[in-house]
Amino acid sequence: TGLYKCACLKWEEVSIMDEKNIPIRTYQVCNVLEPNQNNWLRTDWIPRSGAQRVYVEVKFTLRDCNSLPGVTGTCKETFNLYYHESNEDRESYIKESSFIKVDTVAADESFTQVDVGDRIMKLNTEVRDVKVTTRKGFYLAFQDVGACIALVSVRVFYKTCPLTVRNLATFPDTITGADTSSLVEVRGSCVNQSEEREEPKMYCGADGEWLVPIGGCLCNPGYEERGGACKACRAGFYKAKSTDPGCAKCPPHSHSLRDGATICDCHAGFFRADTDPPSMACTQPPSAPQQLISVVNETSVVLEWTPPHRLGGRSDTSYSLECLICQTGSHSHTGGRFCAPCGSDVLFSPGQTGLTTTRVVVSELRAHTHYTFIVHARNGVSQASGAGAAQSVSVSVTTNQAAPSPVSSIQATDVTRHSLSLSWQQPDRPNGVILEYEVKFYEKDQRERSYRIMRTFSRSVDVTGLNPLTVYVFHVRARTAAGYGEFSTPFEFSTNSDPFPLIGEGVNSAFLLLSVSGVGILLLISAAVFIISRRRSKYSKTKQDSEEEKHLNPGVKIYVDPFTYEDPDQAIHEFAKEIDVSSIHIEKVIGMGEFGEVCSGRLRVQGKREIYVAIKSLKAGYSDKQRRDFLSEASIMGQFDHPNIIRLEGVVTRCKPLMIITEYMENGSLDAFLRKHDGQFTVIQLVGMLRGIASGMKYLSDMNYVHRDLAARNILVNSNLVCKVSDFGLSRVLEDDPEATGTYLSPGGKIPIRWTAPEAIAYRKFTTASDVWSYGIVMWEVVSYGERPYWDMNNQDVIKAIEEGYRLPAPMDCPVVLHQLMLDCWERDRAERPTFSQILNMLDKLIRNPGTLRTILESGVGSEVCVAVIPEMCVPEWSLCEWLQSIGLERYRDTLAAAGYTSLDSLLCHLIILQMLLFVLIGYLFCICRLYIKEGCNLL
C-alpha cells in the first residue's frame, strides 16, 4: 500500500536495516524537540471487498523518550490510528476532521540506542480492528503527535470462515460479521449426487471459525459417501435409499453390472416380489405340496399334506384348495370325468385360501358324491414367475351315504287355547329322498321328562289336546333311506290364554316394574361402591406412593409438594413463620417479580438482631390461583435449610399486601452480576461460585426436589460472593419465566429451552439429571461472564443442534477440566450425567489443586486452529490468599497474617486442633449433664 505524507510533510521515507540486516523501506518521523506536532500519513484507498470488520496490523519501532538527550516534555511515545470510509478511490484531500480515531497505539517495546549499526532493533506489532460497513472502501491514517517512530509495515486484512464441506454440504468462504459477537448464518448446498436430509446450516463466528453445524445431506441412491463426496457404488454393489448407510454387496442370486446401481437384478430363474426389500435375496416359487391324503367321514373330508420339497428360499409359502364336484365323463384334468366347481355351501376349516397350515376339514359336502380336491402351493414370487399348475397336488374322493341335515326352522301357523298348527322347510341337505318327519314335543315346565311323538309325510302338523296358556317345546327331524337325521334345535310356542288376560298382564307389568327398579337400585349401589372403592384406592395409592418415596432416602428429609395440601394456608403455616408486619421496615424497590415489586428492607424480630431482607409482595387484585402460586414459593423455600439455598425468614399473610420475606442478597441475580463484572474474577473465584451452586443443588436433589428452572438468572449473590439457588415457584417455573415465554410450548407449559435437557423438552421428563444438564449451562454462563447460551440462535435451531450432538464450546479462557465437566452434564443419556454429589467432589478437587485449572483450550481462529497450553511449571501451590478469595473471606487475610498464619497448611492444622478441642469440651459437658440428672437434688 502506498503511503501519503500529508500536511507538513514531516514523515519521511527512509531505508533502514531490519533485525536480519535486510534493507527495508520505512516511514519515519522524529520531531521530538518541537512542541505541538501534528504530522499525518495516510494510505491509498483500500476497497473493503465485502468485509464488515477489517484488521490493521502495524509493525513499527518507537524511540524511548528517556533515551533522547535533551528532550523536554514535548516527546511522545504513541501515535494515533484513524480511518475514513469513502466510495471515492482517489480523494486527493481529506480533512482531518473526516477521520475517525481507531485507537492510540503505544509500543510494547521501545529501543534506546541510537547507533543503528550496533543496536538490536525491536519491532512492535499491534493489531486493531475497525468496523467498516458504510462505504465501498476506506483510508487509514497515522497521526504523529511528537514521537520518534518508524512505520515498517501495515497489513490490512479481514477474516473469513474458509470454504468447507460438513455433513455433505458445501459452505462457501464466508466473510465474518461486523461485530465481534455476531454470527453469520450460512446455508450450505448439497455436494454432487446428494440430496438434502435437513436444511444444512452453520454459523460463521467472528474469529473465522465455523460453529453449530445443523442438518446436512445424504448421498443419492446408487452413491455413497467417500472422503466428503458422493461416489457411485461399484459393480456388484448397490444402494437403494439415500438413508442407507452405504453401498452394499448384491444379495444372493442377484447382480449389478454397472456402477451406481440402486438395485441388483435377479439371476435367470430367480425373482423378487413387489414387497421384497432390495436387500433380500432373489427367490423361486415352491415345488408342489407332497403326500396329500384324504379321510372321508360321511359328508366331510379331512385333507392333509406335507410342505413342498423346495420352498424356493422363502418362508411365505401358503396353500389354497380347489374343490371340484365330478361326474363320470371325459375331462383331462380329472382323469376322464366331468368336473365343475363345488357350490358355495361347502365349508372349509380353517379356510380355503391363504392357508399356512397343512390340514383342512371340508364339510357340508353332498352324500355319495365324487369330489376332486387340488392343493396349490404358492409364495411371494409365484405370480412374478408365472408358475401355475406345476406346484399343485390333487386327490379324488367319494362321500358316504348320510342322513338328512336338521330342519332349520319351525313356524306356528295357527294357535288356539288347545291346539297349535306347525310347518317347516325341507332340511338344507336332505342327502336323499325324505321318507318321513318326526315331531317331538313337551310342556316347557316338564322338560323332556314326558314327551309325545308325532310322525307325518308332509312338512306340517296339527298338534291338539294341549293345555291353554302353556308353553310347549318342539323338535323336528327327517328320515331318508340312510336313517333319521338329527333333531332340530328347540322351538317354543304357547297356546292361547284363558279369560282375564289383563290381570295376568298387570301382574307381569308389576313384576317387570319391580324387576326394573330393582335392577336400577342395584346398578346405583354398584356404581356408588365402585366410585368409593376407586377413591379409596386412589387415596391409598397416594399414601403408598408417598411412603414409597420416603423409602427412597431413609433418614433424609423429603420435600413435600405444597400442592398436595387441599388448603394452601395449611401448607404455608406448616413450613413458614408468620411475621408481624410492624417488624418490617421497607426501604427501596430492587426488582420486579412475577407477582409484584421486590423491595429491600430491614427486619427486626424480638430477641434477635436486625437483619437486611428482601420483601416480595403480591400486588392487589390477585386471583385465588395467584395467591396460591405466590405462597407456594414460600411453602417450598421454607422446607429448605442450606447455606446455598435462599433462606426464608417468614411470610405476612394476616394483612395485605401478602409478603414473602427472604434474606437479602446484596449483589442480586448472578447473570446480571457477572455481566457487570466481566473478566474481573479469578478462575478460583468462579469455581468457588459454581461450588456453592452445586452444593445447594446437591441438597435439593437429596430432598428429592427437582428445580426445573436452574439458570444464572435464578441464582442470587450476596456481598461475600456466596451464590444461593432461588426461584421455587412451581407453576411459574414452566409458565411464566420470561425466558420461557413465547419460546417453546410443550403440552403442559413453556420451557426455558436453552437451559433444559433434551428429554425434558421432548417428553417432559424432569429429573435431578435434567437439573444437572441445566447446571452445565449455568457453568457455561458463569465462565463466560453472563453470555447468553447459544448466543442469538433461535430456539428451534438450538433444539436441532443439540439433537445432532452439538454442544456449547469452551468459553474464552475456560479451563479444559471445567469444559469437560460441562460436556459430562450434557450427556444425551441422562444416566451418564454426573450426580450433584460427583460434581461437588470434582469442584472440591479442582479447588484443592488449582494447577489443574490452568490448562486452557482456546477456540479455533480462522483456518489456523491453535491450541495454547500454559506450561505446568508455572503452577504455584495454592496460597492462603487464594483460598480466602475463593470462599469470599479475603478481608481476613491481614488479621490472619498478623496472627502468624501465612500458609494454608499452618491455618488448617490449627483449625483441626481447635475442632478436636471443641469435641472434647462437648463430651465433657455431656458427662456433667448426665451426672447432674442422675444425682438430682443430692448434688444440689
Compute φ and ψ for 615, nearest 5 degrees: -125, 115
Is 779 labelled a binding residue? Answer: no
Q: Which is nearer to ligand AMP, 491 or 595 (CB)?
A: 595
3-state secondary structure of 669: strand
Beta strands 420-424 and 410-415, pairing class: antiparallel
Q: Judged by CB, which is closer to ligand AMP: 146, or 593?
A: 593
State how far the Cα of 10 lies from the Cα of 13, in Å rounded to an integer. 10
Q: Is 593 an interacting residue with respect to ligand AMP (CB under 6 A)? A: yes
* Least Å from the CB of residue 631 to ligand AMP: 14
Closest CB to ligand AMP among residues 314, 732: 732
In angstroms, the CA 766 to CA 700 distance is 14
CB atoms within 10 A of CB 258: 10
Q: How far apart are CA 176 and CA 182, in angstroms?
A: 8
Q: Does 727 bind ligand AMP (CB under 6 A)?
A: yes
Q: Is 336 annotated as a binding residue?
A: no
How many CB atoms are located within 10 Å of the residue 851 CB?
Answer: 14
From the list 310-318, 586-594, 650-658, 753-761, the region that binds ligand AMP by CB under 6 A is 586-594
Per the CB < 8 A criterion, the answer to whether 807 and 819 are in contact is no
Task: Report the amino acid identity of residue 302.
Answer: V
**In the block, residue with C-alpha cell 426488582:** 591
674 binds ligand AMP (CB under 6 A): no
Confirm or deny that 586 is annotated as ligand binding: no
Q: Is 591 annotated as a binding residue?
A: yes
Indicate the residue among 377 and 716 with the shorter CB distance to ligand AMP.
716
Euclidean distance between CA atoms 928 and 573, whole angstroms: 39
Segment lying near ligand AMP (by CB under 6 A), choices 177-185, 320-328, 591-599, 918-926: 591-599
User: For ligand AMP, what does the binding mask look like between residues 285 and 324, x meaning CB under 6 A?
Assistant: ----------------------------------------
Query: Smallest gap, in angstroms, from Cβ of residue 657 to ligand AMP?
Result: 15
CB of 670 to ligand AMP, least distance (A): 10
Give the residue among 221, 231, 302 at the shortest CA–CA distance from 263: 221
598 is in an annotated binding site: yes
In contact, 480 and 490? CB cutoff 8 Å: no
Determine the Cα–Cα distance for residues 365 and 345; give it in Å rounded to an integer: 8
Task: Please identify, among the stretches 340-348, 416-424, 477-485, 657-665, the one whose residues bind ligand AMP according to the rule CB under 6 A.
Answer: 657-665
Quick one: which of 669, 743, 770, 885 contacts ligand AMP (CB under 6 A)?
Answer: 669
| Alpha-carbon span 270 to 287, nearest angstrom | 14
Tell me: does residue 738 bind ligand AMP (CB under 6 A): no
Using CB under 6 A, pick the residue from 468, 483, 591, 738 that binds ligand AMP.
591
Under rule CB under 6 A, residue 661 binds ligand AMP: no
Is 590 part of any known ligand binding site? yes
Q: Measured from the CB of residue 651, what is the shortest distance to ligand AMP in angstroms?
A: 14
- 663 has binding-site annotation: no
Kindly give, in sequence order, each residue whose CB lies less than 8 Å from that of residue 636, ignoring residues fewer than 6 positions away: 559, 562, 575, 705, 728, 730
Does 614 bind ligand AMP (CB under 6 A)? Our answer is yes
Taking the CA atoms of the chain, what radius of gyration do you get in angstroms? 48
What is the nearest approach in angstroms of ligand AMP to the Cβ of residue 813? 27
Residue 766 annotated in ligand binding: no
Please state, in angstroms and rounded to a whole number, the distance separating the CA atoms of residues 276 and 295.
Answer: 38
Nearer to ligand AMP, 419 or 583 (CB): 583
Residue type, 545: D
Q: Is 505 helix (H, G, I), strand (E, B) or coil?
A: helix
Q: How far is the CB of 726 from ligand AMP (least distance, A)?
A: 6
Write out the three cell numbers for 863: 483456518
Examine residue 668 and tell whether it contacts ligand AMP (CB under 6 A).
yes
586 counts as binding ligand AMP under rule CB under 6 A:
no
Residues in the interface with ligand AMP (CB under 6 A) total 15
- Strands 337-341 and 745-746: what pairing? unpaired
Query: Does residue 595 have a known ligand-binding role?
Result: yes
Q: Per DSSP, what are the bridge partners of residue 480?
A: 483
* Contact call for residue 671 and ligand AMP (CB under 6 A): no
Segment near ligand AMP (CB under 6 A); pick from 141-149, 413-421, 585-593, 749-757: 585-593
The angle subtended at Cα 820 by Cα 814 and Cα 823, nearest 5°, is 110
CB of 891 to ligand AMP, least distance (A): 21
Q: By CB under 6 A, is residue 643 in contact with ligand AMP? A: no
Residue with cell 395449611: 570
Name the segment binding ligand AMP (CB under 6 A); options: 79-87, 348-356, 624-632, 662-670.
662-670
Q: Tell me the residue number closest to ligand AMP, measured at CB.
A: 591
- Single out the residue of 716, 769, 799, 839 in contact with ligand AMP (rule: CB under 6 A): 716
Min. distance of Cβ 686 from ligand AMP in angstroms?
Answer: 20
- Taking the alpha carbons at both ends of the chain, their separation in whole angstroms is 103
137 in a known ligand binding site:
no
Alpha carbons 358 and 60: distance in angstroms, whole number: 98
598 binds ligand AMP, rule: CB under 6 A: yes
- Round to whole Å and give the CA distance between 21 and 24: 9
Q: What torsion, rounded to 10 degrees, do the Cα atoms 67, 71, 73, 76 define?
A: -50
- Residues marked active site are found at 709
Of 193, 220, 662, 695, the one binding ligand AMP by CB under 6 A: 662
The C-alpha torsion from 659 through 665 and 670 to 676, rounded to 10°, is 120
The DSSP call for residue 684 is H
Are the beta carbons of 223 and 193 closer than 8 angstroms? Answer: yes
CB atoms within 10 A of CB 701: 19
Minimum gap (Å) between residue 210 Cβ and ligand AMP? 36
Whose Cβ is closer to ligand AMP: residue 39's or residue 662's?
Answer: 662
| Contacting positions for ligand AMP (CB under 6 A) | 590-591, 593-594, 598, 614, 646, 662, 664-665, 668-669, 716, 726-727
Binding site, by residue number, is: 590-598, 616
Binding site for ATP, by residue number, is: 590-598, 616
